[in-house]
Chains A and B, each alone.
Chain A
Amino acid sequence: EAGVAQSPRYKIIEKRQSVAFWCNPISGHATLYWYQQILGQGPKLLIQFQNNGVVDDSQLPKDRFSAERLKGVDSTLKIQPAKLEDSAVYLCASTQQMYQETQYFGPGTRLLVL
């Protein structure tokens, strides 16, 4: 069984530029999560999808961050414009169902904003 795929693995941009991350969850997993992990901290949930609908985006900075999962499979997370404090690892995770399930994580995308 293939795991959660993410790309790119690394990205360096200048502040005020735009960037997009892609995630392909495990096949058949209905729930998809995007986390931001700042150095020295635990992952913080940005947005949670159930199929192609948003379950929770309360911690997503909506003035600059957006995410979509149009067909209920893969997902993209975009930052526009980026700020220095957005430097972090962006993790994607998926679960088969919504409740009490183990989350399977991708390798993450490491973003550096200069």
Chain B
Amino acid sequence: AQSVTQLGSHVSVSEGALVLLRCNYSSSVPPYLFWYVQYPNQGLQLLLKYTTGATLVKGINGFEAEFKKSETSFHLTKPSAHMSDAAEYFCAVTSSNTGNQFYFGTGTSLTVIP
């Protein structure tokens, strides 16, 4: 079975500060990990994904995430928050033996304080 835990349903940061959104996964097989962003009244948009290879993954809008197998984590970071980063962020996991079924975390709402 696979699952995702996102610690912190709400995160607030000041504009220009570091953004850190936490994601831990559970998977009995090598996982494929994703971060999606959801703006109000919109669908989910892919930020970045890890499948194989380099464990540090860079995505759109300056975000990046590092796959740490020993910690079963895939935390999302951005060095400097921008007002436009305010949104809901979802971590998701899938694997090659689950028919591409995705398991999503409960989401983290990011607020950026001017």
- The residues of B that contact A107 with a CB separation of less than 8 Å are 41-43
CA separation between A106 and B104, bound complex, in Å?
A: 16
B interface list, Cβ under 8 A from A: 4, 9, 32, 34, 36, 41-46, 49, 51, 90, 92, 94, 96, 99-102, 104-107
Q: Name A residues whose Cβ lies closer than 8 Å to a Cβ of B.
A: 4, 31, 33, 40-45, 48, 55-56, 91, 93, 95, 98-108, 110
Question: Considering the chains assembled together, what is the distance between the CA atoms of A105 and B47 in angstroms?
Answer: 13
**Inter-subunit contact A100/B32 (CB<8 Å):** yes
Interface pair B104/A48, CB less than 8 Å apart:
no
Q: How distant is the Cα of A98 from the Cα of B43 in the complex, in angstroms?
A: 20
Residues of chain A with a CB closer than 8 A to B100's CB: 31, 48, 95, 98-101
Query: In this complex, what residue of A is CB-closest to B51?
Result: A100
Is the CB–CB distance between A102 and B99 below 8 Å?
Answer: no
A99 to B43, CA, bound (A): 21
A43 surroundings in chain B (CB, below 8 A): 44, 90, 102, 104
Minimal beta-carbon separation of B105 from chain A (angstroms): 5
